[in-house]
Amino acid sequence: MLDASPQAPSQRSGPLLSAVSISKRYGDFLANDSIDLDLYPAEIHALLGENGAGKSTLVKMMYGVIQPSAGELRWMGQKVVLAGPSAARELGIGMVFQHFTLFENLNVAENVALGLPPTDSFAAISERLEETARVYGLPLDPKRVVWQLSVGERQRIEIVRALMQNPKLLILDEPTSVLTPQEADQLFAVLERLRGEGRTILYISHKLEEVKRLCDTATILRGGKKVATCNPRQETAASLARMMVGADIGEVKAVSGRGVTVPRLVVQKLSLEPDDPHGTRLEEVSLEVRGGEIVGIAGVSGNGQDELFSALSGERLSPGERNIVIDGEAAGLLGVTERRRLGAAFVPEERLGHGTAPRMKLSENALLTGHAASGMVKKGFVNKPSTLAAVDRTTKSFDVRKAKRDPEAVSLSGGNLQKFIVGREILREPGVLVVAQPTWGVDAGAAAVIRQALIDLAARGTAVLVVSQDLDELAEIADRIAVMFHGRLSEPLDAAHATREKLGLLMGGANAAGQAGKQETKHAVGA
């Protein structure tokens, strides 16, 4: 049975967990520098910071994944050494990572059992799972296989598995990044209930408005150091971002008088089987993106966005040549290089390994995507000055910070590498740009630079298609927004009318359900 009161009110005067001057060093790099942090019972405490600020390192020490180089952790006032995650769980610390640790071909109950001590029978674990899911309003079918579940349902498995260990402290890393707005609201209700039971929540998120809504306290890290602790409800999103970055964030501004021209990217009734047995089949996807506009595609990860990007970029060929048309040219049966020669450019979601070759220099990476439609290759020979000039232009225009002129891609931070990849393609002045998750995992400053660059590119007549899970991002830059669900694409909505509620319903399949209902009615009338 669940213990809904892990700590009596009389025991809540002192911190549950304290980090005391805790540091973590990797060679010459100091990831955490003498951080002090107190987490109290019945508190939702936000941990904020830019990408690379030291958040992940700190929570990994709190969960026993890594050991501190200096300082100590105190549990209810007593020094503790966490030899590993199992020791943290025994103490009463649970964690739900941003990237799930589930086996796709096992069912819900089997995945939960693998994460629990082998003390109960499988039947008993299944019974406890159902009870915990029911009590906290996190419905799960223990017999369903994980690969058949939505991302939101998979997150429920992780949360329920953590709750079954009756944690006093629950650490959540970017928990709403894969949820619809409605699912996020349901999660907030669960977290508020846990706080009401006296439990402590450590909440990592880059979504500052939800931090203001949900959290009692916020600790901000910058460059591995704690720079502030505050009440987020008394701050603005801008002031929180300023503390995270150390400077004001540039405002993303719309370009007035932006003209929209003819369709430059046309997708017509594209159906495509996935190349992954657990992938998503594209079902009759149709879309037009006109010159001068930005069209956003929203949706929870795993609903066909990756398959659509592969089809648009030419990594997967379409069944017919006119399934994809670029500036009037049938491109469905053309590969990546041929599509680039038609004036298209592509920015994939994965920076290292897909967007760049990690161990190759930036100039060599510029050549990989620029050789087809630039002066980088002449009469079969690489024009090295031209590749270096491309790196220099991107560095200057997008403030790419690096140790030397032409380093390996892997040496750049995530935000700087993303600015390089996006900038490399934008500076080609493509007629069509398809970009997936343009600001995923980058800091607020880099995100503002990238979003403004996309708006400016569209203002110069490019058709820009942005695939993003960040609804705030799409609301800021897109003219129209469509939603992918189970491989189908909704009709685009004008951004002015695309409320979070409407988009959330579409992301949860409301449109698909409506279409199914229409079909059933049609068949009934026909009968």
- CA dist 300 and 182 (Å) reads 12
Q: What residues are paired with 378 via a beta bridge?
A: 381
In whole angstroms, how far apart are CA 427 and each of 149, 160, 370, 395, 419? 40, 47, 10, 11, 12
Q: How many helices (H) and strands (E) does the chain have?
A: 17, 23
Q: In order of start, what are the domains of the chain with their CATH numbers?
A: 9-92+166-245 (3.40.50.300), 263-351+431-518 (3.40.50.300)
Is it the case that residue 98 has pLDDT exceeding 80? no
Would the pLDDT of 515 be above 50?
A: no
Residue, of 179 and 523, whose pLDDT is higher: 179
pLDDT digits (tens, 9 = 90+) for 228-262: 999 999 999 889 989 998 888 878 888 866 788 99
CA distances from 124 to 121, 127, 275 (A): 5, 5, 38
Do 90 and 64 meet the contact criterion of CB atoms below 8 Å apart?
Answer: no
Q: Please report the pLDDT score of residue 20 as a whole number.
A: 97
- Cβ neighbors of 504 (< 8 A, separation 6 or more) are 180, 181, 182, 183
Q: What is the mean pLDDT of the chain?
A: 89
Q: What is the pLDDT of residues 273-319, one digit of tens each?
A: 998 888 899 999 999 999 999 999 999 888 999 999 999 999 999 99
Phi, psi dihedral angles at 359 (to 5 degrees): -90, 5
CB neighbourhood size of 348 (10 A):
20
Q: What is the pLDDT of residues 374-416, one digit of tens each?
A: 789 888 899 999 999 999 999 999 989 888 999 999 998 888 8
Give me the sheet containing 225-230, strands edge to edge: 93-96, 169-173, 200-204, 44-49, 217-222, 225-230
Which residues, at least 6 apart from 403, have a Cβ–Cβ distance to it below 8 Å?
411
Q: What band does 514 get if pLDDT is binned at 50, 70 and 90?
A: very low
Distance CA 496, CA 475 (A): 8
**CA 225 to CA 37: how far, in whole Å?**
11
The pTM (predicted TM-score) of the whole model is 0.81
DSSP states of 264-305: EEEEEEEEE--SSTTS--EEEEEEEEETT-EEEEE--TTSSH
